[in-house]
Amino acid sequence: MSFIETAADLNEVLIGDAYIGIGTSDIQTNLFHISDDDIDVGIPTVNYQLFFEHGIQYWQDEPRINSAGEVSRTDSYYNTVYAKIARINTIIFEADRLLTKGEPVAVINRIRGEAHFLRALYYYTLVNLYGKPYRPSTAQADPGVPLKISPDITSQFVSRSSVKDVYDQIIRDLEIADTHLSGNPAVSDLRASGAAVAGLLSRMHLYMENYEKSILYADRVIALNQYKMTDLNESPANSVFLKRSSREVIFTMGGNNMGSRMEMNMEVPASYHILVSGNLYNSFDAKDLRLQAFFKINSKGSIRSLKKGVGGNSQADDVSDKYSLRLSEMYLNKAEALAALERSGEAGAAIQPLLKCRFKPADIPQWQDSGADLMQKIREERRRELCFEGQRWFDLRRYGVNEKYPFGKSTTHKSVKFTGTGYITDGYYELGPYAQDEAAYTLPIADDEIEFNQGRITNEVRPVRALKQ
């Protein structure tokens, strides 16, 4: 990048090319949401055929097939994220060069820290979409995603790195980011900070079953006293729960498209849309204040997510439905890690700051469970609190390979079919628990990448999934 001559130039590239803007349309929301058990499928009312992600929504052997039977040979999310990683690799290289030219060390180090954080965050999403979930006993052999951490493009062909190698790189990037950002005040919740680094480290170590480290980093965020839980006991009626101005928000990047995917602006949506599943909605206690804060039920009984408000399109104050960190997650991470370590009393206490802000004082659940029962309660609480924030699908994957408390469940999505004059429900598709349906929990890398890399990348064969009645 010959035009980068100053730290200010490099910062502009970081903001413009490495971060994701609110209105970025090619960072697909659907990959993070429409495969899990939190969504239901709405029935369009139009009299013409629509095109939607049939293959992903129904866990097909070819996930890039749409509702008209057309198969895409490319993957815009995969391509976009690797393009951003390529820019980040160059930013890191240029940062080292600019230091030798006498540019401000503090500014360069902040840019370095943010770049390493973003590369870690992108690889976290890639490996959890296109690679196997992290299982400590098999991670070294399990296929992950290609690792590209150098700006050098002379070696153009790539192959999959192991899941362990990808996770190790994520941890290295976050630890480097930590040295540059820890202790520095956050510029904005739209920019990486020391707290964001610690929050993502807590999440990553939870995924890796490094429970003590997950607790350590969660505690570090909590101890900052910089963030505060939104107390639903004090929230005005009809207020928007999930917004950037909330003191719960540690980091957010990109837009929130759940309102448009659920057609929040239409009482009876005409086009393709998703809804909140009854399975998720019914998991909330009747006294849980989140029922009013998180959901809206229309005159037809359809349930839609209200976390970002009633607006359909992405707004400047949105918290991302894919890339965000909140204080509530730190309490959930800590509680889950403590439960895995059989520290049941501490785990129950760790979840209380969250529950106190989600129930009236007389209704706060007091958990006395231990072992598998406690772990299941914490996981269910995580599902409720973080719904539609891009974590549920990843959580279902990691629960399936957890070495101490493995968990799996079947998920069904009803099928909608175009008859020539309109849409009807014609059955359902079912995804089995991870242990029984493992291949369907990993997206294959697209055909164009496989061909370009001359077969160096391979995919596990996904099972054919038939419609059920």
Does 157 have pLDDT greater than 90? no
pLDDT tens, 297-309? 988 899 999 888 7
- In the predicted model, what is the mean pLDDT of residues 446-458? 94
Sequence-distant (6+) residues with CB within 8 A of 380 are 283
| Predicted model pTM | 0.96
Position 117: which residue type? Answer: F
Give me the sign of the Cα torsion angle 132, 112, 244, 24.
negative
DSSP symbol at 389:
S
Alpha helix (H) residue ranges in 306-370: 327-340, 344-355
How confident is residue 439, by pLDDT bands cut at 50, 70 and 90? very high
Average pLDDT of the residues in 240-246: 90
3-state class of 394 per DSSP?
helix
- At residue 122, φ and ψ (nearest 5 deg) are -65, -40
State residue 90's pLDDT score.
96
- The pLDDT value given to residue 47: 86
The pLDDT score that the predictor gives to residue 139 is 98
* Residue 311 CA: distances (Å) to CA of 264, 315, 353, 361, 378: 6, 8, 30, 31, 31
Q: How many CB atoms lie within 10 A of CB 406?
A: 15
Residues 6+ positions from 372 with CB-CB distance below 8 Å? 405
Encode pLDDT of 258-312 as tens digits. 888 888 888 888 888 999 999 999 999 999 999 999 999 988 899 999 888 766 6
The reported pLDDT for the residue numbered 2 is: 61
Whether residue 40 contacts residue 414, with contact meaning beta carbons closer than 8 Å, is answered with: yes
89 has pLDDT over 80: yes
Q: Which residues contact 57 (CB under 8 A, 6 or more apart)?
A: 30, 34, 35, 41, 413
- How far is 197 from 189, CA to CA, in rounded Å? 12
CA 283 to chain CA centroid, nearest Å: 21
Q: Residue 233, Cα to own-chain centre: how many angstroms?
A: 28
